[in-house]
Amino acid sequence: MSKTFMPPKPNTQKKRFVARLLTGAKACYLSNFVDKSYSMKMGQLWSPKRHIFMPNTHELIRKIMVTDSADYPKSDILDKILVLLIGNGLFVANGDEWKRQRRIIDPAFAHAKLKRVFPAMWAAVSDLLDRMATRKDGQILAVDDEMTHITADVIFRTMFSVKLEQGDAQKLFQAFSDFQNPAFSIGFVQALGLPNPFFIKSYKARKAAKTIRALIEPFARDRYERHHRGEELETDDILSTLVKSVDPETGEYFSIEELINQTAFLFLAGHETSSSALSWTLYLIAQVPDVQERIYKEVTEVLGDRDPVYDDIRNLKFVRNVFQETLRLYPPVGFLPREASKCEHMRGKEVKPGDMMVISPWLMHRNPNYWDNPDGFDPDRYDDGACKEALRNAYFPFSLGPRICTGAGFAKQEAMIVLSSLVRAYRFEAVPEHVPIPIGRLTVCSENGIRLRVFRR
């Protein structure tokens, strides 16, 4: 690249304490960080309920997430944010309950082998290309809307063995948009021990969660009831595996409510994060045409005019670099809250039981102590041996330790198929008057959406 593109980042500015809390309740602190926040070793914020610490070195993060992870369970802020949607599902459960759920759910993850789900992913991408073909050349595309549709469709096909219809896709996009901001605001103020002023937002969050669950609950309930009546399940998908899985220690199945919660969790984890990452990737390559053309050249050299197959993925090395760099700049989950269960001393600070430890991929991925040109979009950095240490110590878009995302490989494969297919067929151009505003809610998304102009090749 002749010139490194500097993608949008929230403006850093000093604020009074109350203003920082109010802004945090709205946007998950992305706009609260000052420049030195990115290079700090460990930040601290007082609240009426507990102290909040932000460890920002690889030694502290590894201690909390890996070596001493049992002493730092997931924070109750996740319960308050996500309970409306996924109950006490795998993502928020802790201790023995988390272990029990993981024992039952593991076979479903083992079932979703990447090669096995490739045909379903490609079928969803083929439908995406068909939808794109109906658009006028040069038309402005609401990228985040379309990426929500494709990633949700992939989950529908691999989990339920059905495609996602256009009307349901629109409902999901609007419902997740309506859920994210209210849910985070509610969880944020409650976790800090502040009064909840978001009565209207509470209602909106509940309504949105009901809409989402209403779209997926019938699949789970029907499959559960048929299996427990002794009927043979004709589909061999993720949901069927979940229905039939038992705890190897007790022989117990998930209850119907637990099954619905786990289905909602897998749907949330499997599409919302991928949608965010894909939207930002398309925005970045639209801003840097030579990166986009290098993707096109690689894809056409590897695939020609034929449909992709599973073995092609390993040969799309530059596509992988581009997606990896997007995950660095815009990690789908910007904050990983944990809770201390015992007293510790860290960098001269006393951490007490109940204090919140917020691990931030957003901060570490842009930490100048680890990365050269941390705010620049540079996919070629991953071909530089000097980047290996940063990758090892300051790169964790899918979390770390025992609770690392088991769907990471699934998400990467999905992204490779979507990106390579879109760039082979279309050229994406930036819309100069539209600059996305990154905010951190449940995912790092754009507050004003992502809009690009799309041309057929």
Question: How far apart, in whole angstroms, are the C-alpha atoms of residue 263 and residue 108?
Answer: 11
* pLDDT tens digits, 163-185: 988 888 888 878 887 887 676 66
Sheet strands side by side (includes 451-456): 140-142, 451-456, 426-430
Give the mean pLDDT of 103-108: 84
Ranking 101-105, 198-202, 340-344 by mean pLDDT, the lowest is 198-202
* Average pLDDT, rounded, for the chain: 88
- Whether 162 has a pLDDT exceeding 60, the answer reads yes
pTM above 0.85, yes or no: yes
Cα-based angle 155, 312, 282 (whole degrees, multiple of 5):
60
Which of 326, 333, 320, 330 lies closest to 403 in space, CA to CA?
Answer: 333
Distances (CA, A) of 410 to 110, 140, 308, 417: 11, 29, 16, 11
End-to-end Cα separation, the chain, in angstroms: 22
Domain range summary for the chain, segments of one domain joined by +: 17-456
CATH architecture of 17-456: Orthogonal Bundle (1.10)
* pLDDT tens digits, 239-292: 998 999 999 999 999 999 999 999 988 888 888 899 999 999 999 999 999 999
- Say how many CA atoms lie within 13 Å of 77 toward its Cβ: 28
Q: Exposed e or buried b for every residue in 70-95, given b needs 16+ CB within 10 A?
A: eebbbbbbbbbbbbbbbbbbbbbbbe
> Which run of H or of E encompasses 44?
strand 42-46
Give the mean pLDDT of 435-441: 88
Question: How far apart, in whole angstroms, are the C-alpha atoms of residue 431 and residue 452?
Answer: 6
Question: How far apart, in whole angstroms, are the C-alpha atoms of residue 319 and residue 316?
Answer: 5
Give the mean pLDDT of 185-195: 64
> Which run of H or of E encompasses 438?
strand 438-440
Distances (CA, A) of 402 to 95, 99, 100, 102, 312: 12, 11, 14, 11, 30
Please report which residue ranges of 288-360 form alpha helices under DSSP H: 289-303, 317-329
| Overall size of the chain counted in residues | 457
Please report which residue ranges of 52-161 form alpha helices under DSSP H: 58-62, 76-86, 95-111, 114-133, 143-155
| Residues of the chain above pLDDT 70, percent | 90
